A and B are shown apart, each in its own frame.
Chain A
Amino acid sequence: QQQVKQSPQSLIVQKGGISIINCAYENTAFDYFPWYQQFPGKGPALLIAIRPDVSEKKEGRFTISFNKSAKQFSLHIMDSQPGDSATYFCAANAGNMLTFGGGTRLMVKP
């Protein structure tokens, strides 16, 4: 049972554009929401994370928006660069167990 639904599965954005990835969860016990970036042949790398008492968090070009009532959160990548081309995973934590979304393969065209 997939408890974290991620969309879209793939995304193509022009260089300089905004990439937006969305996730929705069901389990209200989740209390920490990280995003990971994964390049081929590498393990997932922590990008940015948010706790449910915060509605938005920004780190550089990356912003998480969190809507607790809707049980949704999203990642915005501003000024997307070709080097951002990777697979992105949202995740939700409960009791030190991460439940991952299905992943979004992002391609940023030069």
Chain B
Amino acid sequence: KAGVTQTPRYLIKTRGQQVTLSCSPISGHRSVSWYQQTPGQGLQFLFEYFSETQRNKGNFPGRFSGRQFSNSRSEMNVSTLELGDSALYLCASSLWNKNTEAFFGQGTRLTVV
């Protein structure tokens, strides 16, 4: 069974640009969550999608957005990039019901210069 796949693995962008990251969940998983990992702030929840609907949102500015497609694949977008957006962005997938295990992908390492 394939795990969570995130693309691309690495990205370098310039301040002010926008970026789109992609996540393919484990087959059969309908919930996709996104997390930001930085040395200073640790792992922080961005948002969670289920059946193409955003169910939960963390405390991030509106520049961070996402969506989920009918096949459960998800994308997140960051507009007007800032240096502080440099981080490892992680996607996690889980089954549809609550409190089931969340499995993470390897992440996308975003560097903003």
Contacts and interface: CB of A to CB of B under 8 A. Distances in A.
Contacts of A102: 42
Interface residues of B, number: 26
Interface string B78-113: 000000000000101010001101111111000000
Contact of A96 (B42, B98, B105, B106): B98
Number of chain A interface residues as a range? 20 to 34
Given A96-B31, A98-B35, A100-B43, A43 B90 contact: yes
Nearest to A41: B106
A54 interface: no
A42 interface: yes
Contacts of A34: 101-102
Interface of B: 4, 6, 31, 33, 35, 42-45, 48, 50, 55-56, 58, 90, 92, 94, 98-99, 101-107
Interface of A: 31-32, 34, 36, 41-46, 49, 51, 89, 91, 93, 95-103
